[in-house]
Structure 1
Amino acid sequence: MMLIEETAVAAEVLPVAALRSHLRLGSGFAGPDDAAETAALQGFLRAAIAVIEARTGKVLLKRRFLMRLDDWRDRMGQSLPLAPVHSVERIAIEDAEGQETELPADSWRLVPDSQRPAILPTGVVLPHVPRRGSVAIRFLAGFGDSWDQVPADLAQAVIMLAARHYEDRHDAHARQALPFGVSALIEKWRAVRTLAGRGAREGR
């Protein structure tokens, strides 16, 4: 499986003000130092969001992703590795020559789930994937477009982790461990990971 993030979180959506408040940093000076600090805080927030999303499998802010598989994991239904999924925009099967065929929207359906959303066939099974072919699934995932739509415990975990990154910015080793308070906040959101897209043809 290959998962590609096709869109990034916009800078203006990041909770820089909340992080400033948590760190008790001043603001309001529209000079180069303030701009540099804002950029640094945005970087720490992006890093914290990436860690929390990787640990939980939950997308905090809405983005578009592309998942490529060498085959369906199960033709009765294909799970998606991230949640929550708002929509599946396109599914296409590519053959060994690179010829792509888009699946009709009425041939499959998205089953939303807080842990493991899935694509199910409207018929008996999902379409056959040719030998040396692949499947491309483009989908939109995330709790919302703005920070206030992120669940409170996950949002707080991001702020706490970004603050730790800021405080330990000169000590790379200190940033490797996840603080206990952050781990406790995200624990209920963690999902047991399964393979999202290796099919039955192990020897292809």
Structure 2
Amino acid sequence: MTWGGVSVVSKPEALPLALADLKARLRVDHDDEDLEIEGFLRAAVGMIDGPEGIGVAIMRQTWRLTLDILPAQVILPGAPIAGLVALRVLDAGGAWQEVPLEDCRLVTGIDPVRLMPAPGAAWPRPVAQPGAVQIDYTLGAETADHADPSLVTAVALIAGQFYNHRETVVAGQVVELPLGARHIMEGRRRGLVG
């Protein structure tokens, strides 16, 4: 699946792995490199998380899907989708109309998740111009305890690779991802976002 028009409205406030937990996995028992290790942790999360990663949300965040039209059924990119925040439609007068959430049905029992009008509801018709529809929705785990453990492991593996090969990371050379992390990422990839 290839997606376009996806952006992050609000980024996660928390990391899926605490610095202390990552240090324990790396067997680092000093604080001298905490800033560097946290940087590697954030870089590892960035390789996986969000539309710029593999199309998943590890921790709670809000994405926006921008469309030119509003079909009867919209496939929402990303996973795991937690809920709908807003559906806005640009009208002929140039004003954004917020569709009441009770007029929307988020179908979560299937993959990918779909958004459609609730039974008996009708959505307004957007003006015919690019970007006339905005759909905001939340994805990801609310707490690190509920984050996908496989993705957390991939984050730790990548951060560990950066830490163990930091000379090449600092020099700008390409560091190959650990095989285990690549396997996890490919198994969880939601498509190409662009």
Output the TM-score relative to the length of structure 1: 0.76
- Map of 1:186 onto structure 2: 185
What code does the residue aligned with 1:18 have? D
Equivalent residue runs for 1:21-40 within 5 Å? 21-27=24-30, 34=32, 37-40=33-36
Give, in whole Å, the separation in 1 of the partners of 2:156 and 2:38: 11
- Matched-pair contact (CA < 8 Å) for 2:6–2:63: yes
- Matched-pair contact (CA < 8 Å) for 2:44–2:158: yes
- Matched-pair contact (CA < 8 Å) for 1:161–1:182: yes
Equivalent residue runs for 1:46-195 within 5 Å? 46-53=42-49, 54=52, 56-72=54-70, 75-95=71-91, 98-112=94-108, 115-122=111-118, 123=120, 126-132=123-129, 134-142=132-140, 144-171=141-168, 172-175=172-175, 177-193=176-192
Q: Secondary structure at the match of 1:57?
A: coil
Equivalent residue runs for 1:1-12 within 5 Å? 1-10=4-13
Deviation digits for residues 107-126 of structure 1, max 9, x if unmatched? 22111257421111225875
Q: Tell me how far 1:89 sits from its aligned partner.
A: 1.1
Q: Secondary structure at the match of 2:38?
A: helix
Give, in whole Å, the separation in 2 of the partners of 1:12 and 1:181: 20
Q: Tell me how far 1:181 sits from its aligned partner.
A: 1.5
Give, in whole Å, the separation in 1 of the partners of 2:37 and 2:165: 13
- Map of 1:202 onto structure 2: none
Give, in whole Å, the separation in 2 of the partners of 1:146 and 1:38: 22
Give, in whole Å, the separation in 2 of the partners of 1:69 and 1:100: 14
Give, in whole Å, the separation in 2 of the partners of 1:169 and 1:96: 55
Give, in whole Å, the separation in 1 of the partners of 2:89 and 2:76: 16
C-alpha change, 1:76 and 1:45, in structure 2 (3 Å) is same
Structure 2: gaps spanning 5 or more residues: none
Q: Tell me how far 1:160 sits from its aligned partner.
A: 0.2
Higher relative helix content: 1
Q: Secondary structure at the match of 1:161?
A: helix
Output the TM-score relative to the length of structure 2: 0.80
Structure 1: gaps spanning 5 or more residues: 196-204
- Matched-pair contact (CA < 8 Å) for 2:55–2:193: no
Give, in whole Å, the separation in 2 of the partners of 1:25 and 1:81: 38
Q: Tell me how far 1:96 sits from its aligned partner.
A: 6.4
Count of aligned pairs between the two proteins: 184
Q: Tell me how far 1:135 sits from its aligned partner.
A: 0.8
Q: Tell me how far 1:106 sits from its aligned partner.
A: 2.5
- Matched-pair contact (CA < 8 Å) for 1:14–1:42: no
Q: Tell me how far 1:52 sits from its aligned partner.
A: 1.8
